[in-house]
Each structure stands twice: as structure tokens, then as C-alpha cells.
Amino acid sequence: MRVSTLGFQTEATQQMQTLDAEISQTQSDLSTGISLQNAADNPAAMSEVNNLDAQISASQQYQTNGTTLNSNLEIEEQSLSDATTTMQSARDLAVQSNDASLTSAQRQNIATQLSSLLSQLVSTANSTDTDGNYVFGGETNTSIPFSQNGSSVSYNGSNSVSQVQISPNQRVSSSDSGASVFMNIPGGNGTFTTAVGASNTGTASIDTGTVTDAADWVPDTYTITFTDPTDYTVTNTAGTTVASGTYTSPGTIAFDGISTTISGTPAAGDTFTVAPAGTASAFSTISNLITTLNNPDATSAQISSEVGTTLEQMDAAVSNFSNVSASVGARINSITAANTTATASQTAMTTQVTNLQDTDYAAATTQLSTEELALQAAQESYASIAKLSLFNYLQS
């Protein structure tokens, strides 16, 4: 087979250039540490790397979200704890005040202490979080949510709360609205409230009552009227008599699935009301008691009934704080769990990216020595072969 001189040289040069190019590529892989430099190197791997990088970035963002939220939730938990302590102190005072032997001045003293606890509760309800926003303001948390006017406290915040995303598929509430924590606490015993008629002259008091059969309860305001100290009728707002009977102290009056106990001696014309439980705010629970204790004309019976209702409502408030606190605790746990999962998955994804993208130094170094050897061999062989020519040996 015939080989042309020019052809031999061209081909040898081309081969050396190819080896040069390969060495250059390997060197680039080694010095940058990345072997997947272009999508052309491995389109499917590049696509996966992009995808993983995006997930890692999103995961880190969720962790940041969770950290901020965690601090805020811990502040909320602390506030709820403070509110519970305040409410329990108030409860102790309420129990104290249910003493028929107290003088008017002593009752007013208790009322003053309750006032200061009320202000403390308002202050707790207006706490702020790490961003300077109000913890219990709902979605209008840049303006102060609770305002106190004398002994009445109103809520100016919103009833909705926003959410924070702590993991790819979890969004949790960022706080609780003041309405759900402090304002809309179920009143009375949860179904109905009882009250002593304001103009009663007798000494009878009424307890908070119980529900015997919820299905039979017809929500309405009922009036228990004593026609004389031993006979009563129960009428609803339409004027219909739903029950009647005789009374001895203590006596249970039952109708429409509920029962309540009256003790003491009612006078003729005395009334007691049974009304559907609305919601009561934690504040009005305290301020109602303050009003009653400050009234010099309040009778022991009225005070006793008021305290009964107050204690029930205070317990309901503390129970509500406790429920909210439990949900806050659960959210804090979710954040911790999401954080752990995120850290683990980020590690896994980063490893995957490294596998797809990074240079395998051991393999690349070996490849480099192989290519260098090939290039050296090509260069040396070319140098020795190119010198050979018959012309060298022809003597004239």
C-alpha cells in the first residue's frame, strides 16, 4: 500500500491535535472540578442538576421561613402562658369574693386588684413579635389590636391569620387572631348562661346548670318566674309556658333537655333567666365581675351567681388558652420535624448533584496520564519517523 509523505505528516499532526484537545478538556475538568460543564456533555444529567439545585434552594428557603416563624411562635407561647397565669390569679380573687361576709369596701378592694389584672391581660394580648408586628393582631398586625376604654376592651384586629410555608407541602398558620384567643370564648357552660333577675328581692341564687340532653335543647331565652316562693313557671320569649312546678330549696328545674338548680328563698315576682350561651371575651369575664363587686347594692345572691358564671368563663378562657397553646406547640414541632427532614434531603440532593456534576479526580488524573503518555508516544514516534528519507542515504 502506498503512503504519501504529505498525507503521513497531515495525519500525524491531526492525531496530535486530537490528543491535545482531549488533554485540554481533561485539564479543564481537573482545574474547575466540574466535569458537567455544558448540557451537551450530558443533557439528561444537566436537566437533573437544574432540578435538584432548584429543590435545594427552595428547601433552604422553607428552613428560613420556619426559623423566623419558630421565634414568633415561641413568643406567642410565652404570651399565652402569661395570660393563663393572669387569669388564674383573677380566678383566685373571684373565689375570694364569693364570701357573703365581705364588706363593700373589701369587695371594692378585690375589684381594684382585678382591674390591675385586667390591664395586665390587655398588655399581654398586645405583645409584639420579632418583626415588631402584634402577635394576636391577625392580618392587621401593624396596628395595636386591643384597646381598653374604662373596663371594656375591644378588638380591632382581623379574624384571619396568614400562613407560612415550612416545607414543600406544608403551610401552617403564622399566629392566632386575638378574636379566637381572647374574644370568642364560649360563654356560660357552653350551651346556656343563667342569671339572677336584677330586681329580685328574694335570696335565691341559680347555678350555671347542665345539659341533660343536647338534642332536646331549643336555643331561646327563658324566664323562670316565681309566682310565689314555692311555685314557678318557665316561659320562652314568645310567652309560651314550657314548664312549671313547685319548688323547695334546693330545687332542680328541668326543661328542654337542660336542668338548673336554684337554692335559697325566692320572693314572689323574682325572675331568673336562662339564655343561649354566646361568646364572652376573657376581658368581659373579668370586667363584669369588677362591675358587680363595685356595685354597693349587689346582693350576695347576685354576687354568688355572678361568681359562678365568672368561674366557669375563666375556666373556659384558660382552657381556650391551653388549646391554642397546644396548637402552637404542635406547629413548633412541625417546624422542627420539617427542619430535620429538610437538612437530610438537602444532604442527599447535594450528594446527587456532586455525583452528576463534579469531576471524579481519581479517574480524571488517571485519564490525564494516559492521554499524556499517548501524546508523548505520538510526538516521539513522529520525530523519529519524519527524519527517515531515502534522500538521506543517496551519496552523489
Q: Is 327 in the site for other proteins (CB under 8 A)?
A: no
d(CA 383, CA 396): 26
CB of 247 to other proteins, least distance (A): 31
State which of residues 13, 20, 33, 54 lies at the interface with other proteins (CB under 8 A): 54
Q: State the DSSP code for 191.
A: S
Cell of 383: 520525530
3-state class (DSSP) for residue 234? strand
User: Which of 138, 145, 221, 131 lies closest to 175 in space, CA to CA?
Assistant: 138
Smallest distance, Å, CB 141 to other proteins? 5
Helices (H), the chain: 5-32, 43-97, 104-125, 178, 282-294, 300-357, 361-386
| By CB under 8 A, residue 103 contacts other proteins | no
244 forms part of the interface with other proteins (CB under 8 A):
no
Contact 136, 321 (CB under 8 A): no
Cβ-proximal residues to 102 (8 Å cutoff; 6+ apart), any chain: 110
Contact stretch for other proteins (CB under 8 A) within 35-43, 301-309, 323-331, 372-380: 35-43
> Omega of the bond prior to 250 within 30 degrees of 0, cis?
yes
Question: How far is Cα 303 from Cα 95, in angstroms, rounded to an integer?
Answer: 11
Q: In angstroms, how far is the first alpha carbon of the chain from the final one?
A: 29
Q: State the SS3 of 354-369.
A: HHHHECCHHHHHHHHH
User: 372: which 3 cell numbers?
Assistant: 499524556
Q: Is 37 in the site for other proteins (CB under 8 A)?
A: yes
Q: Does 24 bind other proteins (CB under 8 A)?
A: no
Q: For other proteins, what does the binding mask look like between residues 143 and 182, x meaning CB under 8 A?
A: ---------------xxx-xxxx-----x--x----x---
Q: Which is nearer to other proteins, 216 or 231 (CB)?
A: 216
Residue from 19, 69, 253, 258 in contact with other proteins (CB under 8 A)? 69
Torsions phi, psi for 257 (to 5 deg): 80, 5
Asked whether 122 and 153 are in contact (CB, 8 A), the reply is: yes
Helices 361-386 and 5-32, packing angle to 10 deg: 160
Binding mask 260-299 for other proteins (x = CB under 8 A): ----------------x-xx--------------------
Q: Which stretch binds other proteins (CB under 8 A): 10-18, 102-110, 328-336, 366-374?
A: 10-18
Identified binder of other proteins from the candidate list 214, 238, 362, 390, rule CB under 8 A: 390
According to the binding rule CB under 8 A, does residue 47 interact with other proteins? Answer: yes
Please identify, among the stretches 39-47, 209-217, 235-243, 372-380, the one whose residues bind other proteins according to the rule CB under 8 A. 39-47
- Distance of closest approach, residue 189 Cβ to other proteins, in angstroms: 16
Q: Which of 20, 24, 33, 43 binds other proteins (CB under 8 A)?
A: 43
Q: Does 365 bind other proteins (CB under 8 A)?
A: no
Residue 170 Cβ vs other proteins, minimum distance, rounded to whole Å:
12
Q: Does 70 bind other proteins (CB under 8 A)?
A: no
The nearer residue to other proteins, 2 or 103, going by C-beta atoms, is 2
Angle at 344 between CA 338 and CA 346, to 5 degrees: 95
Other CB atoms within 10 Å distance of the CB of residue 101 = 6
384 touches other proteins by CB under 8 A: no
Under the binding rule (CB under 8 A), the answer on residue 11 touching other proteins is yes
Residue 184 within binding range of other proteins, rule CB under 8 A: yes
Q: Which of 214, 215, 238, 394 lies at the binding interface for other proteins (CB under 8 A)?
A: 394
6 binds other proteins (CB under 8 A): yes
The pair phi, psi for residue 299, each rounded to 5°, is -90, 160
Q: Which of 16, 22, 25, 68 binds other proteins (CB under 8 A)?
A: 68
- In 176-250, DSSP assigns E strands to 185-186, 192-196, 205-206, 210-211, 222-228, 231-235, 241-246
Q: Which residues bind other proteins (CB under 8 A)?
A: 1-7, 10-11, 14, 37-44, 46-47, 49-51, 53-54, 57-58, 61-62, 64-65, 68-69, 131, 133, 137-142, 158-160, 162-165, 171, 174, 179, 184, 219, 276, 278-279, 357, 389-391, 394
